[in-house]
Amino acid sequence: MDSYLEIVERTLDEVLPKGRPEKLSEAMRYAVGAGGKRIRPLICLAAAEAVGGRAEDARYPAAAIELLHNYTLVHDDLPAMDNDTERRGKPSVWAKFGEADAILAGDALQALAFGVAAKARRNAGAIVRTLGEKGVGVVAGQAEDIGSDKDIPYIYEHKTADLFVAAAKMGGLAGGGSEDDIAALEAFALNLGLAFQYEDDLLDGDYTYSREETEQLAQETTRRAVEALARLKGDTAFLRELANRLLGRRV
């Protein structure tokens, strides 16, 4: 994992702005560097290896998915949405920089994500399309979540799982995976994303279903995620370990 993290942090530092306007650059770097686990970019890098490619081939798609993910967090925290003043134990971007600059930082992170994804060495067009499709899916999930009549399965699939699917598919495309490889990665990531959400529910104690049913759903989707990896020809050890590690996590 350390080698994956080195690739992610190096690439993020390369692509994030350092110049004018200084406040915008500072807010963007603060948003991306504020203690995230980098789960989605790690999935992206590992997916490239799972189809027989190299992690380094997926470094720009991996950075892109992290940029887009953090854009969604910046906007979710805004007073008009969740009104959260803290993120990852630190002031949220709007609480630190003000609402207007937080909106602009989120906008810039989203735009930057597409430019970075387009730098992929292989299948750049398909990678950018995937980022766009799943980026819209995340927003659709959020729109459903703030509505009065919530469709919980739809929210979980899109607001949470879509970026897991994007990460895995983008990594597989960057690694030169076949259609069957990409389908296996999508099945893995969809189930992993759902398991991640069920585990979040257990951590928060905020159950859509009963605790017992939520635990069963987390276990079942994790099992399905791991089973999907058997269809891949490359190294899937990290993805398998990640799925099992996320099950029953405490933070």
Of the pLDDT bands very low, low, confident and very high (cuts 50, 70, 90), residue 158 is very high
Question: Could you tell me what percent of the chain has a pLDDT over 90?
Answer: 87
The pLDDT, as a whole number, for residue 205 is 78
- What are the residue ranges of helices labelled H in the chain? 2-15, 22-32, 39-50, 59-76, 93-97, 99-117, 124-145, 152-155, 162-174, 179-204, 211-229, 237-246
Query: What does the pLDDT look like over 226-243, one tens digit per residue?
Result: 999 999 999 999 999 999
The pLDDT, as a whole number, for residue 34 is 60
How do the domains of the chain map onto residue ranges? 2-246
> 87 - beta bridge partners?
90
Query: What does the pLDDT look like over 188-223, one tens digit per residue?
Result: 999 999 999 999 888 877 778 889 999 999 999 999
pLDDT surpasses 70 at 67? yes
This prediction's pTM:
0.94
Distance of alpha carbon 224 from alpha carbon 239, whole angstroms: 13
Q: Does 2-246 carry CATH code 3.40.50.2000?
A: no
Q: Is 140 exposed, middle or buried (0-12, 13-18, 19+ CB in 10 A)?
A: middle
